[in-house]
C-alpha cells in the first residue's frame, strides 16, 4: 500500500523493523487505537510520521479484516502477464 513518509515529522515512538518500513504491526494497532479514542486522522498522521492516506488505509483494513488486516503483507504481484514461459525459461 502507498504509505507516504512525511519528512516533516520524525517521531521516535514508531518502531521500524527495516529501512523501508515506517510502521510495524504495533504502530498500525496504535493508529487504530487512537482513531477509536477519537483522534482526528490528521493528528494521528502527524504523531506517527506518516501520511493521512496511510492512516486511512490501516483504519479501513482494520474495519474490514480486524487484527488480521494489520499484518504485514507481501508486495509480490499476484500475476505477471509478461512472465517468460516455462519452455523458454528451461532453454
Residue 28 domain flag: yes
Q: Could you report the per-residue pLDDT of 42-81, keeping only the tens digit for each?
A: 999 999 999 999 999 999 999 999 999 998 877 788 888 8
pLDDT value at residue 17: 53
Residue 9 domain flag: no
Residue 46 domain flag: yes
Residue 38 domain flag: yes
Residue 18 domain flag: no
Give the count of domains, the chain.
Answer: 1
pLDDT value at residue 64: 96
Domain range for 48: 23-70
Residue 76 domain flag: no
Give dist(CA 86, CA 91) in Å, integer: 9
Give dist(CA 35, CA 54) in Å, integer: 13
Give dist(CA 91, CA 75) in Å, integer: 29
pLDDT value at residue 71: 87
pLDDT value at residue 4: 52
Residue 16 domain flag: no
Mean pLDDT confidence for 25-49 = 95
Residue showing cell 507516504: 4
Amino acid at each position: 500500500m502507498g504509505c507516504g513518509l512525511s519528512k516533516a515529522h520524525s517521531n521516535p515512538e514508531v518502531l521500524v523493523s527495516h529501512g523501508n518500513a515506517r510502521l510495524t504491526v504495533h504502530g498500525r494497532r496504535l493508529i487504530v487505537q487512537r482513531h477509536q479514542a477519537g483522534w482526528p486522522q490528521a493528528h494521528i498522521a502527524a504523531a506517527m510520521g506518516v501520511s493521512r492516506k496511510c492512516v486511512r488505509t490501516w483504519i479501513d483494513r482494520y474495519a474490514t479484516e480486524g487484527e488480521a488486516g494489520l499484518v504485514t503483507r507481501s508486495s509480490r504481484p499476484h500475476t505477471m502477464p509478461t512472465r517468460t514461459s516455462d519452455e523458454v525459461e528451461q532453454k
